[in-house]
Structure 1
Amino acid sequence: MHQNESAKDTTASHQDRTMNTMPKNLMVPFLLLSLQNVNLHGYKLIQELAQFGFATIDQGNVYRTLRQLEKDQLVYSEWDTTTEGPAKRIYSITKAGEDYLKTCFTTLEQYQSMINRFFSIYMDMFLPPSRKQQEGTEDK
């Protein structure tokens, strides 16, 4: 094997490992990102997901995901009894959650690069030249 092929294999192996650590549920990195600098109640996390662009949000799924993240020690929660009304859980990110968020960042960055290449190739193949020029000038 040539030295060049070895370097490619190492890079591919690293990408495979990183991509396999990405959660199946894309909501996870967004929840962890939302908790990065502030502790939040579940309903506020649902609002954050909506602001990130999640069109439909199953609230039950959000709470199940938060419970799983807590079991995985990526977040922790405690009861907030300082406000009027019933006690509410406040969620916080753990050190392990911060580390996992960094892994998600790396993986999503790789996905973004792949998606950018896909759109570039697609545009070159299927968009008429006038549309390509229009797309190029809108970015400037």
Structure 2
Amino acid sequence: MLHNEPEQRESLENNQAKQPNSMPKNFLVPFLLLCLKDWSLHGYKLIQMLMDIGFSSVDQGNVYRTLRKLEKENLISSTWDTSEGGPAKRIYSLTEYGEKYLATCATSFEHYQNMLRTFFTLYTNAFFPFATSPEKDEKDSSSSPGGTAE
């Protein structure tokens, strides 16, 4: 398999070039639900919030399709706002079922966060064995004979 290494590297580089710093699609739903946790918002404002959160590019059509899907799944609800001048705007709100789903997402993300922490610890130890982290320095100084543990 070693003879394929340059081809594999090229394939990996091509895949990375196709996917610039973008959030995985499976993050869209939890972030939309989180944005609706305390506010009722229209789609354009949700898109602005996603970009503020860190989504580098947002496919507006995909966001609106996802919102319709979430409404069909009873995770959100919508009403039409005609109070302002101009065309009516669809305002989205989180449902009780959506709040429960959001809590499930948070639990899953916590698990993923722990896995990522483990991955980066192993990665750092493998490639940078002499690097120290603030956590490790703190533990070392409090457990060493000259350290000061309070």
TM-score (norm. length: structure 2) = 0.71
Write out the 4+ residue segments of structure 1 that deviate beyond 4 Å after TM superposition. Answer: none
CA distance in 2, matches of 1:102, 1:128: 37
Which residue of structure 2 lines up, in the alignment, with residue 6 of structure 1?
none
Count of residue correspondences: 113
Which residue of structure 1 lines up, in the alignment, with residue 116 of structure 2?
115
Q: How does 1:1-140 map to 2 (within 5 A)?
A: 25-129=26-130, 132-133=131-132, 135-136=133-134
Look up the SS of the partner of 1:26 in the other structure.
helix
CA distance in 2, matches of 1:116, 1:83: 47
Which residue of structure 2 lines up, in the alignment, with residue 20 of structure 1?
none
CA distance in 2, matches of 1:110, 1:51: 25
CA distance in 1, matches of 2:116, 2:129: 20
Which residue of structure 1 lines up, in the alignment, with residue 15 of structure 2?
none
CA distance in 2, matches of 1:40, 1:95: 16
CA distance in 2, matches of 1:66, 1:113: 29
Q: Which has the higher contact order (CA 8 A, sep 6+)?
A: 1
Larger Rg: 2
CA distance in 2, matches of 1:123, 1:136: 13
Which residue of structure 1 lines up, in the alignment, with residue 5 of structure 2?
none
Per-residue displacement from partner, 1:39-83 (whole Å, max 9, x unpaired)? 001000001111111111000000000000000000010100001
Letter in 2 for 1:43: Y
**Aligned sequence identity (%):** 57
- How much does 1:127 deviate? 1.6
TM-score (norm. length: structure 1) = 0.76
